[in-house]
């Protein structure tokens, strides 16, 4: 079988100032390299677009290097091996890897994780059984030190991470689970499908007032995907010894200058609050437990997940921009092929 010689890949062509636009990206033809010793050539079947990628578009020092201009971007992807020069991986095997935003990827086999389409649909390895799922699991149970009986508030609760946080909290015995989302449809989804006890649309009024109504007895854990007014509101409702997992602050990702911090941070002193940032890569040791427990919840129907799918690599940037504006329910996936 002859190997492909070219494939398309998305390049970042300019550093966005504020909200990214399609003009900051270009879909370009790239040569495809045959695999060398210890390498595989993968045809990507589905790509992940995630909020953290917005930070990588800025040329600033961070926990992950910025995207380079006029070079292929990267991110999680699942694909099928089409050629292999590595033991343990053969043509036809499915793998999870980090060279997304392109049709073909040549990489060292040690950076490709073999996955099974028989265990779960391949796209779940980008969401509910992948990095977002582990973020939810570790962020709630390990970082926030969740305990049975805790009242939990989750912002961005209809997204890939937030929807799983709320469901895990419920399954682990939370006394109350509250979520915020950006539309009436998403609020309905949280309470009617995901089992949240209460939810509100943050566009309907001040977050602090809506959270106070939804959590009259306060909260013990806040899982923060949004920052801004949500963090300030949560600080006001947290009980003594409350815990906050700082996972993301999407409300400020596209600000051209830093927004002011919470005006009530002093509450953290008297309430003896714990605010802790998290990076999912620090929690790899939890992955076997996470996969085992989550797969069982999915099989039993106790944990529900949703995906928003955009078809075609040419629509990857539109999918990414739509995700930043809350246009997704659950995990945003770009599907290249079945």
Give DSSP secondary structure letters for 28-54. Answer: EEEE-PPP-TTEEEEEEEEEE--THHH
pLDDT value of residue 251: 79
CA-CA distance, 127 to 46, in Å (whole number)?
11
> Could you give the C-alpha distances from 244 to 142, 279, 305, in angstroms and in order?
11, 14, 24
Beta pairing partners, 308: 332
CA-based radius of gyration for the chain: 20
Burial of 212 (0-12, 13-18, 19+ CB in 10 A): middle
Phi, psi of 104 (to 5 degrees): -130, 145
- Helix and strand element counts for the chain (H, E): 9, 15
pLDDT value of residue 307: 94
CA-CA distance, 333 to 49, in Å (whole number)?
7
Class of the CATH domain delimited by 131-281: alpha beta
Class of the CATH domain delimited by 6-127+306-335: alpha beta
- Buried b / exposed e across 109-147, counting CB within 10 Å, b at 16+? beebeebeeeebebbbbbbbbbbbbbbbbbbbbbbbebe
> Could you give the C-alpha distances from 12 to 22, 26, 255, 322, 332, in angstroms and in order?
10, 7, 19, 17, 19
Q: What distance lies between CA 254 and its chain's CA centroid?
A: 17
Run of H or E residues at 308: strand 307-311
The HSE-up count of residue 78 (CA atoms within 13 Å, CB side) is 23
pLDDT value of residue 256: 66
Domain ranges of the chain: 6-127+306-335, 131-281
pLDDT value of residue 10: 98
Residues in the chain: 338
- Rounded mean pLDDT for each run of 10 residues along the chain, 338 residues in total: 91 95 97 97 97 92 90 97 97 97 98 91 94 97 98 96 97 98 96 97 97 98 95 98 94 73 94 97 95 92 95 97 91 92
CA-CA distance, 27 to 37, in Å (whole number)?
29
What residue has token string 């009530």? Answer: 264
């Amino acid at each position: 079988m002859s190997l492909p010689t070219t494939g398309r890949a998305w390049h970042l062509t300019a550093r966005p100032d504020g909200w990214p636009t399609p003009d900051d990206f270009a879909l370009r033809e790239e040569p495809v390299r045959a695999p060398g010793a210890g390498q595989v050539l993968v045809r990507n079947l589905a790509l992940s677009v995630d909020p953290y990628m917005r930070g990588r578009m800025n040329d600033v020092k961070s926990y992950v290097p910025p995207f380079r201009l006029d070079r292929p971007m990267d991110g999680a992807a699942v694909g099928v091996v089409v050629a292999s020069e590595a033991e343990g991986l053969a043509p036809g095997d499915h793998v999870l890897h980090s060279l997304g935003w392109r049709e073909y990827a040549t990489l060292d086999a040690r950076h490709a994780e073999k996955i099974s389409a028989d265990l779960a649909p391949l796209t779940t390895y980008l969401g509910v059984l992948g990095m977002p799922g582990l973020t939810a699991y570790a962020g709630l149970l390990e970082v926030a030190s969740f305990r049975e009986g805790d009242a939990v508030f989750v912002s961005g609760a209809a997204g890939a991470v937030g929807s799983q946080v709320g469901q895990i909290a419920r399954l682990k015995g939370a006394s109350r689970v509250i979520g915020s989302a950006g539309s009436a449809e998403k609020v309905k989804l949280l309470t009617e499908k995901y089992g949240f006890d209460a939810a509100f649309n943050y566009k309907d009024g001040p977050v602090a007032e809506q959270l106070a109504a939804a959590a009259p007895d306060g909260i013990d854990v806040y899982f923060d995907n949004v920052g801004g007014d949500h963090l300030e509101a949560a600080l006001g409702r947290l009980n003594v010894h409350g815990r906050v997992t700082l996972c993301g602050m999407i409300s400020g990702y596209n600000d051209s200058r830093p927004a002011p911090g919470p005006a009530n941070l002093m509450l953290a002193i008297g309430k003896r609050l714990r605010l802790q940032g998290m990076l999912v890569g620090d929690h790899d040791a939890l992955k076997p437990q996470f996969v085992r427990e989550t797969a069982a919840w999915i099989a039993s129907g106790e944990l529900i997940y949703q995906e928003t799918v955009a078809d075609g690599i040419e629509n990857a940037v539109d999918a990414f921009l739509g995700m930043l504006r809350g246009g997704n329910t659950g995990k945003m996936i770009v599907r290249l092929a079945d």
